[in-house]
């Protein structure tokens, strides 16, 4: 048995039609795994979780009163933002760090982590989206929050905030425009990653059923302390509120994925 829940739901007003997700919210591990053979310092790095995102999501929930689903386990245990058939679902090496507790891994342990952590999180996401859709009678707007490192392999990343997406532009285009409007930050479009990832959370819960969505990535040095988190909550909350108020967004429309047929 696991010794803590695999997800946390922050209740909100489903009638608003907005759902917020955080796939990599925490660096927690169940007691049975110790630290997966890694030093404690590894769990302060991006390899374990999305630094700053939990604070941003809790702040947005408080400001917007939108329901939230957050993971409660480290991505080093199993990555909820990967499809079940993705070979990187359980990472053996992450940014140069070998994860002894993941290599070797038996088929039985792989299956256990799916059943105990990955699937319950996604079931919670499905239920929250379905509850919101039932309450409004319309497609909800789903926003997934992530963060990224200021540099990768010695190369600085210039964007303070980015939006990842596949082929559904409905929420993405106005979001990019709003983020860039003040002119005080560099906004990335599908940077530093490509948002078309088959089997990931947005593919599974939004692309396939035709639900409007966007994945927001904030650079980790921007939200590495309480002041930075507060600044980004102040910035994002009114933007997401205005975006969610657009009735044209709350419809179902299935776009073909760049990853191929569903």
Query: Which pTM was predicted?
Result: 0.97
Model pLDDT, residue 49 = 98
Tokens of 142: 């789903």
DSSP 8-class letter at 123: H
pLDDT per residue as tens digits for the range 191-204: 999 999 999 999 99
* Close Cβ partners of 1 (under 8 Å, ≥ 6 residues apart): none
Q: Can you tell me which residue has the tokens 């007691």?
A: 31
Average pLDDT of the residues of the chain: 96
Q: Is 250 exposed, middle or buried (0-12, 13-18, 19+ CB in 10 A)?
A: buried
74 closest CA partner among 113, 125, 123 = 113
Model pLDDT, residue 1 = 45
Q: Which fold has domain 7-249?
A: Aminopeptidase (3.40.630)
Please report which confidence band the pLDDT of residue 96 belongs to, taking 50, 70 and 90 as the band edges: confident
Please report which confidence band the pLDDT of residue 66 belongs to, taking 50, 70 and 90 as the band edges: very high
* Close Cβ partners of 238 (under 8 Å, ≥ 6 residues apart): none
Q: Is the pLDDT of residue 139 over 50?
A: yes
Enumerate the domain spans of the chain. Answer: 7-249
Q: Is 22 exposed, middle or buried (0-12, 13-18, 19+ CB in 10 A)?
A: buried
CA angle 103, 45, 63 (to 5 degrees): 125
């Amino acid at each position: 048995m696991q010794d803590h829940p695999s997800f946390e739901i922050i209740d909100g007003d489903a009638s608003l039609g907005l759902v917020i997700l955080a796939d990599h919210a925490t660096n927690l591990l169940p007691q049975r795994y110790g630290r997966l053979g890694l030093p404690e310092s590894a769990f302060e790095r991006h390899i374990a979780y999305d630094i700053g995102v939990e604070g941003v999501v809790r702040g947005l929930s408080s400001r917007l009163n939108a329901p939230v689903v957050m993971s409660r386990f480290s991505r080093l245990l199993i990555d909820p933002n990967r499809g079940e058939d993705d070979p990187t679902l359980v990472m053996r090496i992450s940014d140069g760090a070998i994860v002894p507790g993941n290599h070797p891994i038996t088929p039985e342990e792989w299956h256990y982590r799916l059943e105990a952590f990955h699937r319950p999180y996604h079931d919670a996401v499905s239920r929250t989206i379905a509850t919101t859709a039932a309450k409004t009678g319309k497609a909800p707007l789903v926003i997934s929050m992530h963060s990224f490192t200021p540099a990768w392999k010695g190369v600085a990343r210039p964007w303070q905030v980015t939006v990842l997406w596949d082929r559904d532009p409905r929420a993405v285009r106005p979001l990019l425009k709003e983020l860039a409007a003040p002119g005080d930050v560099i906004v990335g479009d599908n940077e530093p990653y490509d948002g078309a990832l088959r089997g990931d959370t947005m593919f599974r819960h939004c692309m396939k059923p035709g639900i409007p969505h966007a994945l927001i990535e904030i650079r980790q040095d921007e939200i590495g302390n309480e002041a930075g988190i507060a600044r980004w909550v102040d910035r994002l909350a009114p933007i997401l509120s205005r975006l969610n108020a657009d009735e044209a967004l709350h419809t179902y429309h299935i776009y073909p994925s760049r990853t191929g047929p569903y």
